[in-house]
Structure 1
Amino acid sequence: MAKSKKDKASKKALSKGGLYTQEAVSNFFSHFGRQPDNDEVLRKAGITRHKLRVLLDDDEIAQAVETRIDALLGTPYRIEPSDTPEAIHLKAEFDEWYFDISAGALNALFFGYSVQEAVYELKPEGYIGLQWIGEKPMQWFEPKNDGRLILRKEGSSQEHIVDQIFKFFLTRRKATYEQPYGKALLATLYWMFFFKQNGFKFWAKFLERFGTPILLGKCKDTETADMNEALLNAHAQSVLSIDVEDDVSLLSTSGSNGTAGSAFETFNRTIAQQIQKIILGQTLTSGTDGKGSYALGQVHENVRADKLKSDMRLVTPTLQAVVNALCELNNWAKHTIVLGEEAKVLNTEQAERDTRLKNAGANFSDAYFIREYGLQEGDLKTAMEPVQETFSALP
């Protein structure tokens, strides 16, 4: 019995749809069991967290983000204690990888969290060092509210609890029990980005329609068609022919100075100021309208310094985790990485004054030396008092 053409067509359609069914099932299992992202902005916008990267293509957002990144990468660092052979090896490793680790960790500020992977190798000097360390795609990982880090690669339904001591390093910003993914700064900027991009599209369409000059010809009522044809032949753009007794005028809203250009400039300037305030925190100097002053400049520098300190506090735990991993792998003593503080230069005048006070009988506490001379806990030892020997009189 011959099969009908209808059955063949249905089987043919099913065979072509098999790939799409497989992809749908794969995506279902890869997201099955994953905790939903509770960010209201992302939910209303209908985008996933890693898609926020498109905001970095905006010129205003990109330059503000680069300002914060450059400030962090230009921050000096040191290893404490610094006078050990292990500290020299650690300094050599971080001289090579400090920019990559810091920039990857700072992405937690913009996306809520970031994950970096480390690959180790045996160095010619005989210690285990970094062969490579860098940021991995954040959509592969799911931070849990109990501190675990789950790895889910695309197209796979398997879950792996990854190691966070030696292999993977997680950085999160303002993570809570309800939102373990952290707070993404770019999510706050999403609607600013949306209105700015669509505002430029509207402005481009407006210029396309009204940016070119319109030829206006006045003629008798019976000659408007001939006038239109003559104007089009001469201008090849928008033309208008009216009767000599008719009148054409432009109506605009109040406050726009008679032009739509000034209204768009106000709109664009407001969006740019909002973006700068969110990223750079310039709540005063970004909106002075040319009325700046030295006091406002000082406020601007203070705000930038506060933002830099915040970024340093964000990335320091990740940098310290890498230091701890290298120390543990090589059986080294504990070392600490310090950001943003140069080694304190000895004040000779103060040292001479303290010496004279000590010789005069004054005693200083360990806390004084640690505070004034930049020493660490354990650097000072209690002075041993000389033992006075007793002599007996000769008989």
Structure 2
Amino acid sequence: MAKVKSRAKAVNPLFREVAVSGDGRDITRDFGGLMNALLPQDSVLRDRGGDYTLYEDVLRDDQVASTFQQRRMAVTSAEWGVRPGGPDRESRMAADFLLGALNRIGWDNVTDKMLYGIFYGFAVAECLWGRDGRFVTLEALRVRKQRRFTFDPLGRPMLVTPGEPNGLALPGRKFWHFHAGADNDDDPYGLGLAHWLYWPVFFKRNGLKLWLIFMDKFGMPTAMGSYPANATDEEKRRLLAALRAIQTDSGIIVPEGMKVELIESSRGGQVSYESFIDRMNAAIAKVTLSQTLTTDAGGGQYRADVHKHVRNEVVKADADLISDSFNRSVGAWLTAWNFPTAHPPKVWRRVSEDQDQRPIAERDRMLFGMGLRPSAAYIRATYGEGWTFPEDREAD
């Protein structure tokens, strides 16, 4: 008789989190005896012994400022709007309410400041709530400095104050924050562009210092003075003063019996400082924009189009990150307070390459004539937001 295989015993799902970072068992973290605050895992910040002022200095570089501005402006210049979370009247009212709030506070300006979270690794904005009759209103979103915050073991932001250097617990539904760039969910500080930009900027600045020394050394001859063996200390000082005057004066005098001549510096080969600086600038552009041809000339039209497409993908990811984090927090809070039965609305930005839509429209018109009807999702994906549909009107 054949044996009947026994079934494996069913294992019930475990609903609690196990591999947490705040219980002191995370081997990747040095808590330093402080269990109420997580420390950043950024190796540059840790090894250089600084805080986020280290990265604020990186922003002073001309190439960093230019390329990061290009990345931010590509987001803030894109069209945006608010889409209802559902076709019902309450959901559309919630969308209109949120759209009015964002227009009032200046959504593009808020977005531009929150995009610095891509640079530092995280961003925090404080919601200033107000009251208008029965509605809770959003009066402003104040984006705060990154170095004013730490995070607790649950990833919640805490405010650093003189009296609470490890962070003060903050009220719920008051601060909007997100993190970006990290390869795991254990670090709420994220890992921003500044981590990757620090060394190219550091090497570039030191290269510029050496280049200035080179230009001073090889661009202007060195003055040499000769004095007789029986020259006094006073005569030597007068000769040295005359040599120094060569740098600024058109004429000098020297004691009799002393000689002044100019030594021209000479070297063979080509100077490579300029190519080194160009290489660092290219590295900065590649880190910030994931390509270089939208900031530097050359490469041909095909490569330029490819690089522009890559940059657009990066910009779209930035726009989606801002919109999604806002929708999950501030947008959801306002809806829950003011329109509890509504589906939360969605803030969106359209970041896409311009294309001729006439061939697509002609094709869709032919298909419509054949009896086919496009879905609302297709219309939005193909022609963008801002359209209303029969089912929306029927819901009224």
Quote how far apart the aligned CAs of 1:81 are.
2.5
2:265 is equivalent to residue 255 of structure 1: no
Q: Are 1:202 and 2:205 counterparts?
A: no
Matched, 1:102 2:111: yes
Task: Tell me which amino acid in the other structure corresponds to 1:329.
Answer: W
Instruction: Give secondary structure in 1 for the equivalent of 2:190.
Output: coil
Q: Normalising to structure 1: TM-score of the pair?
A: 0.68
3-state secondary structure, aligned to 1:337: strand
Asked which structure has the greater CA Rg, the reply is: 1
Q: Deviations over 1:44-74 (max 9, x none)?
A: 2222134311211222211111111111111
What SS does the corresponding residue of 1:132 show, helix, strand or coil?
A: strand
Match of residue 300, structure 1, among 302, 307, 320:
307
Residue of structure 1 equivalent to 2:14:
none
Match of 1:171 among 174, 178, 184: 178
Alignment-derived partner of residue 346 in structure 2 = 336
Q: What's the counterpart of residue 353 of structure 1?
A: 366
Q: State the match for 1:374 in structure 2.
A: 380
| Residues 84-233 of structure 1 aligned to structure 2 (within 5 Å) | 84-95=92-103, 96-123=105-132, 127-144=135-152, 146-156=154-164, 160-164=168-172, 166-175=173-182, 176-214=184-222
Paired with 1:53 and 1:231, the residues of 2 have a C-alpha distance of 43
Alignment of 1:66 onto 2:75: no
Find the counterpart in structure 1 of residue 10 from structure 2.
none
Conserved 8 A contact 2:101-2:139: no
Q: Tell me which residue corresponds to 1:57.
A: 60
Aligned to 2:326: 319
Q: Is the 8 A contact 2:38 2:151 kept in 1?
A: no
**Aligned mates of 1:180, 1:189 — CA distance in 2:** 20
Please identify which structure carries the higher helix content.
1
* Distance verdict in 2 for CA 1:253–1:286, change over 3 Å: farther
Q: Which has the higher contact order (CA 8 A, sep 6+)?
A: 2
SS at match of 2:178: strand
Question: 2: CA distance between counterparts of 1:348 and 1:254?
Answer: 61
> Contact 2:121–2:191 at 8 Å: present in 1 too?
yes
Distance 2:39 2:93 in 1: 47
Summarize the Cα distance change of 1:157–1:70 in structure 2 as closer, same or farther, 3 Å threshold: closer
Is the CA contact (8 Å cut-off) linking 1:100 and 1:134 kept in structure 2?
no
Match of 1:279 among 279, 284, 288: 288
- Aligned pair count? 331
AA partner of residue 379 (structure 2): Y
- Which structure 2 segments of 5+ residues have no match? 1-31, 392-396
Q: Percent identity?
A: 22
1:173 positional shift: 0.3
Corresponding position of 2:26? none
Q: 2: distance between equivalents of 1:354 and 1:280? A: 40
Per-residue CA deviation, residues 222-262 of structure 1 (Å, 9 max, x unaligned), is 9x999x989986993279x999xx99774535333xxxxxx
Aligned CA distance change for structure 1 residues 330 and 233 (closer, same or farther; 3 Å): same
Q: Which runs of 5+ in 1 are unaligned?
A: 1-28, 257-262, 382-395
Cα RMSD (Å): 4.3
Maintained 8 Å contact 1:37/1:179: yes
What amino acid does structure 1 have at the position aligned with 2:300?
A: S
Is the 1:141–1:152 Cα contact (8 Å) retained in structure 2? yes
Q: Which residue does the alignment assign to 2:9? A: none
Q: Which amino acid in structure 2 is aligned with residue 174 of structure 1?
A: G
TM-score of the superposition, structure 2-length normalised?
0.68
